[in-house]
C-alpha cells in the first residue's frame, strides 16, 4: 500500500472531525486501542485509524455507507475482516460487551426519534465500551442559543437551519454522565454555527 503524502494531511487523516483529531493530539487515542465507530457513515473518522493499524469495528444503519467503509478498510487495513463493519442500527450492535476501548459517536445521537430511542442508542454505545474506555460524542444541542430552537415533541426541535433534530442541553448531558457513572474527560464544549445550529462535544471515561 502506497504511503500517504506527508505534505497532504487529508491523505493521512481523511475528513476527520476536528474535535476527534484533538483527542489524538492529546494522546487519549493511542496505538493498540480497539475502536468502534457507532454510526460510521462513509468512514470519515476512520481513515487514520485504519491506516495506523488500529483494531476497528463500525456500524451504520445505511448499507451503502457500510459498503464504502468496507472498501476503505480493504485498501487501508486489509487484515481486518469485513465482518467488523456491519449494517446495523446503533441501538442493536452485534458486538460483545466491552469490545472497544474507544467508542465514537459523531453526529449520530441527534437523529434519535424520541427520548427512548436516544437512551437505547446511548446505552448500547456504553455497553460495548470497555471499562476504563473513552466515549467520544458530538451531537446537536440547544447550548448557546436555546431561544432559537423551536420544540416539537419527544425531545425533537426545529432548528434555525430548517432541520429537525433531537437536542440535548447541558443539564441532560451532565445527568447522563452521572447516571452512566462516567467522568468528564473535558468540559462540555459547544460550537455555535452562525446562529443556525449548535454542536456539542461530550467526552467521558467509563469507570474501570
DSSP state of 180: H
Domain residue extents for the chain: 15-205
Q: How far apart are CA 37 and CA 139, in angstroms?
A: 14
pLDDT mean over 40-66: 97
Grade residue 14 by pLDDT with cuts at 50, 70 and 90: confident
**12 within 8 A of 48, measured Cβ to Cβ:** yes
In the structure grid, which three cell numbers stand for residue 119, read together? 437512551
Fold of the domain spanning 15-205: Rossmann fold (3.40.50)
- What are the pLDDT digits (tens) for 134-158? 999 999 999 999 999 999 999 999 9
The model's pLDDT over 91-127, given as tens digits with 9 standing for 90+, comes to: 999 999 999 999 999 999 999 999 999 999 999 999 9
Q: For residue 21, is pLDDT > 60?
A: yes
For a pLDDT cut of 90, what percent of the chain falls above it?
93
203 has pLDDT over 80? yes
> What's this model's pTM, rounded to 2 decimal places?
0.94
Query: Does 8 score more than 90 pLDDT?
Result: no
What confidence tens digit (pLDDT) does each residue in 59-93 have? 999 999 999 999 999 999 999 999 999 999 999 99
Reported confidence tier of residue 2, pLDDT bands at 50, 70, 90: low
Report the pLDDT averaged over residues 179-190: 98
Nearest to 23 by CA among 135, 122, 173: 135
Question: In this model, does residue 5 exceed pLDDT 90?
Answer: no
CB contact at 8 A, 42 and 69 = yes
Amino acid at each position: 500500500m502506497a504511503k500517504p503524502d506527508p505534505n497532504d494531511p487529508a491523505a493521512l487523516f481523511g475528513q476527520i472531525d476536528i474535535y476527534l483529531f484533538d483527542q489524538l493530539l492529546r494522546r487519549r487515542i493511542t496505538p493498540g486501542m480497539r475502536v468502534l465507530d457507532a454510526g460510521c457513515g462513509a468512514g470519515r473518522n476512520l481513515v487514520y485509524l485504519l491506516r495506523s493499524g488500529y483494531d476497528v469495528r463500525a456500524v451504520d444503519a445505511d448499507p451503502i455507507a457500510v459498503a464504502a467503509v468496507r472498501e476503505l478498510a480493504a485498501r487501508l487495513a486489509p487484515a481486518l475482516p469485513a465482518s467488523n463493519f456491519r449494517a446495523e442500527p446503533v441501538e442493536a450492535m452485534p458486538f460483545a460487551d466491552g469490545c472497544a476501548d474507544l467508542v465514537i459517536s459523531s453526529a449520530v445521537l441527534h437523529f434519535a426519534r424520541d427520548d427512548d430511542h436516544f437512551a437505547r442508542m446511548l446505552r448500547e454505545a456504553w455497553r460495548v465500551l470497555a471499562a476504563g474506555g473513552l466515549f467520544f460524542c458530538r451531537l446537536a444541542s440547544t447550548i448557546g442559543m436555546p431561544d432559537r430552537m423551536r420544540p416539537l415533541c419527544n425531545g425533537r426541535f426545529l432548528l434555525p437551519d430548517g432541520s429537525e433534530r433531537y437536542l440535548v442541553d447541558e443539564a441532560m448531558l451532565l445527568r447522563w454522565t452521572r447516571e452512566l457513572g462516567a467522568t468528564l474527560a473535558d468540559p462540555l464544549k459547544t460550537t455555535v454555527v452562525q446562529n443556525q445550529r449548535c454542536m456539542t462535544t461530550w467526552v467521558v471515561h467509563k469507570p474501570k
